[in-house]
Amino acid sequence: MKIAIIGGTGSQGLGLALRIVKAGMPVIIGSRDDTKARIAVDKVKEVFPNAVVEGYDNFTAAEKGDILIMTVPYKFMADTIKSIKGAITEDKILVSPCVPLANAVGGKPTQVVRPWEGSAAEQAQALVPNVKVVGAFQNICAARLMDIENPVEDDVIVCSEDKEARKTIIELVNKIDSLRGINGGKLCTSRIVESLTALIIGMNIRYKTSKGLGIRFTYLYDID
């Protein structure tokens, strides 16, 4: 399946692109400005010259991708989904790493705002009700993803109403360097997962971590 990163020119999107191509998978990088997408492609190829990576505007990237990972800040999420809605067909999987941090509305990044639907992932599902939406990658520090010389070693909680879509994204996660996909159950669990990001940000501040803390579940050995 073709993986498209929508809004993939920021540190989270670019970090995921680097990790995915490092795992030997092709990537499509999308941006509102296709020139910025091509610049991001060049950055990936500086690290991995043989990477299979393309850059397009967000709509074209969404058309070409099978798995669409939405790496835009929460305040732009709804508008971005609406702008590519015509390209998000029922056979695609839309992955939401978005977290509704309160700084999107003038508050603190250590707090979350609660969308009417319950979480950013559920809000995305409401915008494209006929598409398989998965919540994943919300708790991974972008700086860790960008530090390509070192493993991330995080667990990624994957939530969706669609069991097959959830399984597909868990399998994708497990292919990425040192990440482990965890079955988080239904999409409503994203309410808890997204809130953990605000907790992590607060702990990063208190403990002065340079590249961010991560989550790892202990005593979980037998994952199928």
Q: What is the pLDDT of residues 178-202, one digit of tens each?
A: 999 999 999 999 999 999 999 999 9
Q: Please, what's the largest Cα pairwise distance for the chain? A: 46
Q: Which long-range contacts (CB under 8 A, 24 or more apart) does 76-82 make?
A: 76/7, 77/120, 77/123, 77/124, 78/123, 78/127, 80/6, 80/7, 81/124, 81/127, 81/128, 82/127
Query: Has residue 199 been placed in a domain?
Result: yes
For residue 55, pLDDT over 70 is answered with yes
Query: Has residue 218 been placed in a domain?
Result: no
pLDDT of residue 135: 98
Distance CA 1, CA 165 (A): 12
Q: The pTM is what?
A: 0.96
Summarize pLDDT for 96-131 with one digit per residue, the tens: 999 999 999 999 999 999 999 999 999 999 999 999
Confidence of residue 155 (pLDDT cuts 50, 70, 90): very high
Query: Has residue 14 been placed in a domain?
Result: yes
Query: Has residue 200 been placed in a domain?
Result: yes
Summarize pLDDT for 68-90 with one digit per residue, the tens: 999 999 999 999 999 999 999 99
Confidence of residue 210 (pLDDT cuts 50, 70, 90): confident
Bridge-based pairing state of the strands 3-6 and 27-31: parallel
Distance CA 211, CA 144 (A): 6
**Percentage of the chain modeled with pLDDT above 70:** 99
Do 95 and 67 touch, CB atoms closer than 8 A?
yes
Q: What average pLDDT does the segment 142-146 reach?
A: 96
Query: Has residue 138 been placed in a domain?
Result: yes
Do 58 and 30 touch, CB atoms closer than 8 A?
yes
For residue 34, pLDDT over 80 is answered with yes
Number of Cβ within 10 Å of residue 223's Cβ equals: 11
Query: Has residue 49 been placed in a domain?
Result: yes
- The closest alpha carbon to 216, from 200, 204, 201, 202, belongs to 200
Q: Note down the domain range covering 144.
A: 3-207
pLDDT of residue 57: 98
CA 183 vs CA 70, 158, 179, 224: distances in Å: 20, 5, 13, 10
Distance CA 79, CA 83 (A): 6
Confidence of residue 221 (pLDDT cuts 50, 70, 90): confident
Distance CA 80, CA 94 (A): 12
Confidence of residue 224 (pLDDT cuts 50, 70, 90): low
Looking at the structure of the chain, the number of domains it has is 1
pLDDT of residue 177: 86
Average predicted confidence (pLDDT) for the chain: 96
What CATH number has the domain bearing residue 29? 3.40.50.720
